[in-house]
Amino acid sequence: MQHVPLGRTALQVSRLCLGTLNFGVRTSKDDSFALMDEALARGINFFDTANQYGWQIYRGLTEEIIGEWFATGGERRDKVVLATKVFNPMSDWPNDQGLSARNIIASCEKSLRRLRTDWIDLYQMHHVDRAAPWEEIWQAMEILVRQGKVRYVGSSNFAGWHLAAAQEAANRRNFLGITSEQCIYNLVTRHVEVELIPAAQAYGIGVLVWSPLHGGLLGGALRKLEEGTAVKTAQGRAMVALDTHRDTIAEYEAFCLEQNLDPAEVAQAWTLSRPGVTAIVTGTRTMAHLDGAIRALDLELPDGVLKKLEDLFPPVGKGGPAPEAWAW
């Protein structure tokens, strides 16, 4: 397993981050325990969750499952770099959401109890809160860091200028600020190449990628739909995008078959190879999914394959960062 620094910090994280979105919902507690054990045994030391995960049953369920797993011992908590998130509503009450100082601190305390841990390694803002000033956000995060309840702060679903504004505000306070940004990035959705990733690189912010398969679209969607084995592919983001990209996905799957390559492994390997990417968050539901993600980590795509992928899934504008992506 490859381990790299998280952004400009000295914290070492695996390039595969175990995503837990399915835990307790599509993946049973026993199977979730088995996946976490296997991930740790394979050298994956980076686990990602959120306070809201499990909302289909009840908010906080996934954190509780992880907490139960930590409680089984074996130095599990000490070995894991644990990331969770704050922002999304945890109830219908107005102050039980967003990035107010009140909610940041209260949500952290509740996550700690559900996770059965004394600290969170990476506390991520799940979305930008346009109503919350950075002075308020950083004051709350500084309190949690001083108390030893949070080690590092991250963001998710930010724009490039949000990273810049947040980091400049943190710098004025002599605070470390944002160490990672978690964003959607894959062959189908390449918008972050224009401004987000350049901003992250400029500030030494690690990039964590969620949905490298675009909800299953790039994981053999058409074949699975034909076989009747599609789960995530048959709903949500993948199903919506399939209406627009059906011909391209068909050509992509045919090309992968011709090259004797698995579509899911190709898509993940491509994302891992992109400049600025620290790790991908692999939302595995099964051991087979975990095995495929690990194989993708070692898969080096030949130049011919990379060129074909660029032809099938072109970048935004002229490619590269702004403003050259659309100017000159």
The catalytic residues are: 53
pLDDT value, residue 227: 83
pLDDT value, residue 235: 61
Q: How far is the C-alpha of 165 from the C-alpha of 90, rounded, in Å?
A: 27
| pLDDT per residue as tens digits for the range 160-179 | 999 999 999 999 999 999 99
20 neighbors 49 (Cβ within 8 angstroms): yes
Q: How far is the C-alpha of 311 from the C-alpha of 308, rounded, in Å?
A: 5
Cα→Cα distances 99→78, 169, 196, 204, Å: 28, 15, 21, 23
pLDDT level of residue 146 (50, 70, 90 thresholds): very high
pLDDT value, residue 249: 94
**pLDDT for residue 275 is more than 80:** yes
**pLDDT for residue 229 is more than 80:** no
Q: How far is the C-alpha of 106 from the C-alpha of 86, rounded, in Å?
A: 10
| pLDDT per residue as tens digits for the range 98-122 | 999 999 999 999 999 999 999 999 9
| pLDDT per residue as tens digits for the range 65-94 | 999 999 999 999 999 999 999 999 999 999
118 neighbors 150 (Cβ within 8 angstroms): no
Q: Identify the architecture of domain 3-216+264-302 in CATH.
A: Alpha-Beta Barrel (3.20)
Q: How far is the C-alpha of 323 from the C-alpha of 328, rounded, in Å?
A: 8
E strands, 202-284, in order: 206-210, 277-282
pLDDT value, residue 233: 64
Residue 258 identity (one-letter amino acid): E
Burial 50-63 (b: 16+ CB within 10 A, else e): bbbbbbeeebbbbb
pLDDT value, residue 224: 84
Q: How far is the C-alpha of 220 from the C-alpha of 254, rounded, in Å?
A: 10
CA neighbor of 63 nearest in space, from 21, 1, 106: 21
**pLDDT for residue 231 is more than 80:** no
Q: How far is the C-alpha of 6 from the C-alpha of 288, rounded, in Å?
A: 27
The DSSP bridge partners found for residue 17 are: 46, 281
Looking at residue 260, the DSSP 8-state letter turns out to be: T
Q: Write out 180-203 in H/E/C secondary structure.
A: EEEEECCCCCCHHHCCHHHHHHHH
58 Rama class: left (phi>0) / alpha (psi -120 to 50) / beta: beta
Residue 219 identity (one-letter amino acid): G
